[in-house]
Amino acid sequence: MDNAAIWTTIFALGIGTFLIRFSFLGLLGGRDLPEWLTRHLRYVPVAVLPGLVAPLVVWPEATGGQADLARSLAALTALSIGALTRSVLSAIFGGMAVLYGVQFVLS
C-alpha cells in the first residue's frame, strides 16, 4: 500500500463519514427521509459486507487463492454462532478458535 493512497483514503473516508452523520442533524433539520430511501438504507450493511467477505473466504489470499478447509470451517462457525447467539464477540472468538484448531490438527 502506498502512503499517498492511505492518507487520501483516511481523509476522504473521515470527511465523508462526518458529512453522512451531520446530514440531517446539521443541514436538513427535522425533515423525514422519504420512505423508499429508508427502506433501502435499512439493507445497506447486509448488502455490502457479505459481498466483501465472500471472495476472501472462497479465494483466501494467504493460501494463494486456494479454498482452504480451516478458513471455510472458521467462516461457517462464525456465521452459525453469530446467527444463533446474536453475539458479535462470541462469533469472532468461535471462528478464530476453529481456524487455529483446524490448522493445528492439520499441521
Partner 1 sequence: MGRAYWQGFRAGAPFVLVVAPFGLLFGVVATEAGMDLWQTMAMTVLVIAGASQFAAVQLLSDHAPVLVAVATGLAVNMRMAMYSASLAPHLGKANLGRRALVAYFLVDQSYAVSVAEYEQNPARPLPDKLAYFFGSMTPIAPLWYGFTLVGAVAGAAIPPEYALDFAVPITFIAIVAPALRSLPHIAAAFVSVAASLALAGLPYNSGLMVAALLAMITGAFIDKRMEQAHG
What residues numbered 4-23 form the site for partner 1, per CB under 8 A? 5-18, 20-23
Interface with partner 1 includes 1 (CB under 8 A)?
Answer: yes
When binding is defined by CB under 8 A, the residue of 67, 95, 101, 106 that contacts partner 1 is 95
CA 100, CA 105: separation in Å to the nearest integer?
9
70 close to 103: Cβ distance less than 8 angstroms: yes
Q: How far is the CB of 105 from partner 1 (least distance, A)?
A: 14
Among 66, 67, 69, 100, binds partner 1 (CB under 8 A): 100
Nearest-angstrom CA–CA distance, 51 and 106: 29
Asked if residue 43 binds partner 1 (CB under 8 A), the reply is yes
60: its cell numbers: 483466501
Binding status of residue 101 toward partner 1 by CB under 8 A:
no
69 binds partner 1 (CB under 8 A): no
DSSP string, 6-52: HHHHHHHHHHHHHHHHHIIIIIITTPPPPHHHHHHHTTHHHHHHHHH
The answer to whether residue 79 forms part of the interface with partner 1 (CB under 8 A) is yes
- Kindly tell me which of 51 and 105 has the beta carbon lying closer to partner 1: 51
